[in-house]
Amino acid sequence: MLETIKTQNLTKIFKVKKKEIKAIQDINLSIQNGEIFVLLGPNGAGKTTFLKTISTLILPTYGDAWVNGYNIKKDEYKVRKSIGLSTGFERSFYYRLNGYQNLEFFGTLYGIKGKDLKERINFLLNLFNLEDAKDLKYMKYSTGMKKKLSLARALLHDPNVYIFDEPTSSIDPISASEIRDIILSLKDKNKTIILSTHDMHEAELLADRIGILNKGNMLAVDKKENLKKVLKKEIIKVKIDKGISEDLIAQDGIKEKINLFRKIKDDEFEIEVENSSEVLDQLIEKLKNQDRKILTINVETPSIEEVFINFVRNDKK
């Protein structure tokens, strides 16, 4: 797959009261074409700084980055033209213009004209359920409507790369779900999306890969399932036709692989293991040998929230 975004030792240092604050430090990252990359991190971790840097809104102190093959230092105008950016920064819109007029203005800047521009604006207003608000001045838009208009503007010129800073923050659950569906539809069109979020459920739903930032450092970058394996914890939940004790389960050959046995009801229990695939067959065989019929058996892996907390807490030690 082709690299759409690549960073090399990307670093941004801010000077505050004669002190140097490293907002991001030596970030090396490669994002592939057609990928949804989700950036997680606590407040102040450097997520927004990173997104603004690769968008050319701020220059790195040192290091480099390429977006769509364009260098962020030498080809900043080409980078900006080739991306769709939504930061939720309200002052980037004209307060006294209505929603339609704002999109019309920015569409013109992108070189879209006449009938094509009108059709594109109407399509996006419909996509984001803003048709009824198109004649309303931006200053009267709600927070959620402003967020949607910002995303609509990012889609105006149909770029290959989208950079979204917390696209669903401060909006209602229905609107958030609609925005996630739009993001997934962009992926279906082989677009590349990098977004930040504090919503772990959103990360679980959207991400092909996740990057975890803390104090400017990229702690981990990987697929969701690989990050979950780092915790070495899976829960096997079992419901059987009659009661069973821990002693009958935790016998030689499987006992050493069980970290925790928890009885929920007489006929229900769960065990915590590092790797369920190493235990399942043995567990099923032992239950059969004990004349127990398995009614249900499920394996639960750690959540992205658990993974995130684990990385950040360990980084503080």
Question: What is the tens place of the pLDDT at every residue in 128-152?
Answer: 999 999 999 999 999 999 999 999 9
Q: Look over the chain and give the mean of its residue pLDDT values, rounded to a whole number.
A: 93
Do 55 and 188 belong to one domain? yes
How many C-beta atoms surround the C-beta of residue 18 within 10 A?
5
Which residue, of 229, 246, 266, is where some domain finishes? 229
Residue 47 has pLDDT above 80, yes or no: yes
Do 196 and 244 belong to one domain? no
Mean pLDDT along residues 90-96? 88
Which phi and psi (to 5°) does residue 166 adopt? 50, 65
Three-state SS string across 182-226, please?
A: HHHHHHHCCCEEEEECCCHHHHHHHCCEEEEEECCEEEEEEEHHH
Do 39 and 174 belong to one domain? yes
Long-range contacts of 309-317, Cβ-Cβ distance < 8 Å, separation of 24 or more: 310/230, 310/231, 311/212, 311/214, 311/219, 311/220, 311/230, 312/41, 312/42, 312/212, 312/214, 312/219, 315/214, 315/215, 315/217, 315/219
> How far is CA 33 from its chain centroid?
16
Residue 194 has pLDDT above 60, yes or no: yes
Question: Would 187 be classed as within a structural domain?
Answer: yes
Task: Quote the DSSP letter at residue 252.
Answer: T
pLDDT bin (cut points 50, 70, 90) of residue 250 is: low
Distant-in-sequence, close-in-space partners of 102: CB < 8 Å, separation ≥ 6: 93, 94, 138, 149, 153
The CATH number of residue 255's host domain is 3.30.70.1560
Do 212 and 238 belong to one domain? no
pLDDT of 251 reads: 65
Question: Would 281 be classed as within a structural domain?
Answer: yes
- Nearest-angstrom CA–CA distance, 157 and 178: 20
- Angle, helix 143-155 to helix 173-188, in steps of 10 degrees: 10
Q: Which domain holds residue 236?
A: 232-301
The CATH number of residue 82's host domain is 3.40.50.300
> How many distinct structural domains can be found in the chain?
2
Mean pLDDT along residues 255-284? 87
Mean pLDDT along residues 20-45? 96
Which residue, of 229, 251, 282, is where some domain finishes? 229
Which residue, of 229, 252, 271, is where some domain finishes? 229
Both tokens assigned to 171 = 């909006």
Do 254 and 214 belong to one domain? no
Question: Would 317 be classed as within a structural domain?
Answer: no
